[in-house]
Amino acid sequence: MSISQSLAAALDPMVLAMIVLGTIFGAIIGALPGFSSVMAISLLLPVVYPLDPLLGLLILGSIYMGAMYGDANAAILLNIPGTASSLPTTFDGFPMTRQGRAREALLAALAGSVTGGIAGVLVLLATFGALAEFSLRFGPQEYFWLTVLGLTTIAALSSGNLIKGLAGGGLGIAISLIGLDPYWGTPRFTFGQSSLIAGVHLIPALLGLFCVAQVLSSLAGPERDRNAPEAGDQKDALRKVVGTMVRRWDVLVRSSAIGVLIGMLPGAGGPIASTISYNETRRWDRDSASYGKGRVEGVIASEAANSAMVGGSLIPMMALGIPGNVNAAVILGALLSFGLRPGMNLLSDGSGVAMSFMIGLLISSILLAPLGYFIIIRISTQILKIPRTYLAPTILVFASVGAYSVTNSMYGVVIMAALGIGGFLFRRIGLEAAPIGLGLILGPIAEREFTSSLLIAQAQGSYWTMVLRPISLVLIFLCLLSIAAPVLLALRQRRAADGGASA
């Protein structure tokens, strides 16, 4: 399929309507404190499952894009970051609200998100082909180590408890082993249950881990005051934001670059991108002391990096099959559910899904500007007033019917409920849902490539062939670096804290 045909497919009225709905839905869920973008994507997995792959992937991509912007609203209006990614947005966004400049802050967040989102997708468009072509040099050994590299994301997701994080990832892989043995074709780990022969279906499992467990966690937390102030009628807000963008284009360029680069690294997602971007913007500013007191550049820096990370995280996911973060991992799960494989296959299968998807994402990030200005900002204060009373049971019903629809039986609902309640309990003891989910998604790929590598090694008469190949060695080094970096960073922070305390 040519680029013009891909463009035509992405500009189909039905596809455009779905992009608009996906972006708004993502922004709404993202705006609700405690409900993350990964939950928004997971919740719609069953809805997109029966659809055309392009339409389904574009809905999920648009939700991702919308959610990364939506969480800024709660951060600015309530000082509650919708997700950890928008924490730096609160530093200057909320002081601006208290100064009566809420509209300016909301528009700055929108401007940053749109610019960052477009930059991220443009880099994705520019690099995907080359990276996918490079992946043609990969054999099963390299793909196995690449999957291990994806799994090392767990180290960054484990928030200070690497052992529990790795155990969670292993548990996810172990659950993914249930069902038919891919090599011999015989049932394994089914405990005599015929329904388990088909394995643990990915979508109900993700619904349980990311929706049900999240809802139960929100019930465990205190009900926060959601009396969001109105955005106000600041007439010159748009002019001021546009003026800042023109004057401080360097903030947009630097923050977008940071977002894309951080997004590409496994595990180093939105929170790291937005924090580094905010800190760098403050560091490069002559008046750095005024940050935290209502500087519009602070909001733009945080949100531009946050949204640029979307395109960045999809680069390794689409080209190599390694998700940059949990959101990309869930989209990878959807990609695999549609029967598509990441890498050169996506470009060369003739369907044009990859190119149309990237063009559609670009349209989504551009459409975010009018959608945010005319719809999302206007309704964000109303969205923030929706009480937990109505949200929690409704999400549980939506997840249940979604799990049923994917398997067309109660089996999916039982899987969802079991992993949801189990995921909530594990989350309370520090075994987070993200590593378990990542293990579930990447486990089958790792097993397939490992078994193939093993067969090749046996045929060649040496197991060293699994390791001693140039690209494999580089990937093994990156795996070790990916695990060691968060540990060393935590040790350094602890030492710095101890030093500060003793001083």
Partner 1 sequence: MMWNIDKVLLGAVVVFCGVLLFQAIDIKAPAGTFPVFVTATTGALAMFALGRAFLRPSTEPFLPAGAGAIVLAGAIGLAVYVTAMTASYLVATPLFLFAGYLFLMPQRTIRSVVLAAVVAVAMTAFTWLCFAYWLGVNLP
CB of 53 to partner 1, least distance (A): 16
| Identity of the residue, 234 or 405, whose beta carbon is nearer to partner 1 in the bound complex | 405
| Identity of the residue, 42 or 255, whose beta carbon is nearer to partner 1 in the bound complex | 42
C-alpha 374/C-alpha 227 separation (Å) is 22
Q: Are 40 and 26 in contact (CB under 8 A)?
A: yes
Which residue among 20, 108, 114, 166 contacts partner 1 (CB under 8 A)?
A: 166
490 touching partner 1, by CB under 8 A: no
Which residue among 103, 164, 226, 254 contacts partner 1 (CB under 8 A)?
A: 164
| Identity of the residue, 216 or 245, whose beta carbon is nearer to partner 1 in the bound complex | 216
Query: Within a 10 A sphere around the Cβ of 161, how many other Cβ atoms?
Result: 15
C-alpha 413/C-alpha 436 separation (Å) is 18
CB of 298 to partner 1, least distance (A): 32
C-alpha 349/C-alpha 117 separation (Å) is 27
DSSP class of residue 11 equals: T
C-alpha 453/C-alpha 139 separation (Å) is 8
Which residue among 100, 160, 182, 243 contacts partner 1 (CB under 8 A)?
A: 182
Exposed, middle or buried, 369 (CB in 10 Å: 0-12/13-18/19+)? middle
**By C-alpha distance, which of 366, 268, 364 is closest to 316?**
268
Which residue among 198, 261, 454, 490 contacts partner 1 (CB under 8 A)?
A: 454
**By C-alpha distance, which of 280, 300, 288, 287 is closest to 240?**
300
CB of 403 to partner 1, least distance (A): 9
Residue 129: CB partners within 8 Å, gap ≥ 6? 347
Which residue among 139, 170, 229, 292 contacts partner 1 (CB under 8 A)?
A: 170
248 touching partner 1, by CB under 8 A: no
17 touching partner 1, by CB under 8 A: no
223 touching partner 1, by CB under 8 A: yes
Sketch the per residue contact string, 417 through 436, with partner 1: x for CB under 8 A, - otherwise. x--xx--xxx-xx-x-----
Stretch that binds partner 1, among 227-235, 287-295, 302-310, 440-448 (CB under 8 A): 440-448
| Identity of the residue, 31 or 446, whose beta carbon is nearer to partner 1 in the bound complex | 446
Q: Would you state the structure tokens that stand for residue 28, as one six-digit string?
A: 């709404």
Q: Which residue is it, tokens 């395109």? A: 311
CB of 168 to partner 1, least distance (A): 9
189 touching partner 1, by CB under 8 A: yes
Q: Are 296 and 242 in contact (CB under 8 A)?
A: no
CB of 397 to partner 1, least distance (A): 6
C-alpha 276/C-alpha 63 separation (Å) is 24
459 touching partner 1, by CB under 8 A: no
| Identity of the residue, 46 or 266, whose beta carbon is nearer to partner 1 in the bound complex | 46
Which residue among 396, 467, 476, 490 contacts partner 1 (CB under 8 A)?
A: 396
CB of 200 to partner 1, least distance (A): 13
210 touching partner 1, by CB under 8 A: no
C-alpha 302/C-alpha 112 separation (Å) is 8
**By C-alpha distance, which of 484, 501, 449 is closest to 135?**
449
Q: What part of residues 354-393 is at the interface with partner 1 (CB under 8 A)?
A: 388-390, 392-393
**By C-alpha distance, which of 386, 342, 310 is closest to 60?**
310
Handedness of CA 291, 295, 299, 305 (dihedral sign): negative
Give, in degrees to the nearest 5, the angle at Cα 353 between 139 and 14. Answer: 160
**Main-chain dihedrals φ then ψ at residue 188, nearest 5 degrees:** -140, 145
CB of 181 to partner 1, least distance (A): 5
**Main-chain dihedrals φ then ψ at residue 187, nearest 5 degrees:** -65, 145
CB of 379 to partner 1, least distance (A): 18
Q: Would you state the structure tokens that stand for residue 416, as one six-digit string?
A: 């969802």
Secondary structure of residue 102 in the 3-state scheme: helix
Sketch the per residue contact string, 397 through 416, with partner 1: x for CB under 8 A, - otherwise. xx-xxx-xx--x-x--xx--
Residue 249: CB partners within 8 Å, gap ≥ 6? none
498 touching partner 1, by CB under 8 A: no
Which residue among 20, 24, 107, 212 contacts partner 1 (CB under 8 A)?
A: 212
CB of 478 to partner 1, least distance (A): 20
C-alpha 69/C-alpha 374 separation (Å) is 14
42 touching partner 1, by CB under 8 A: no
188 touching partner 1, by CB under 8 A: yes
226 touching partner 1, by CB under 8 A: no
Q: Would you state the structure tokens that stand for residue 309, as one six-digit string?
A: 């990370």
C-alpha 303/C-alpha 117 separation (Å) is 9
| Identity of the residue, 131 or 490, whose beta carbon is nearer to partner 1 in the bound complex | 490
Which residue among 60, 215, 231, 241 contacts partner 1 (CB under 8 A)?
A: 215
Binding positions for partner 1, rule: CB under 8 A:
47, 50, 163-164, 166-167, 170-171, 173-174, 177, 181-184, 188-189, 212, 215-216, 219-223, 388-390, 392-394, 396-398, 400-402, 404-405, 408, 410, 413-414, 417, 420-421, 424-426, 428-429, 431, 443, 446-447, 450-451, 454-455, 458
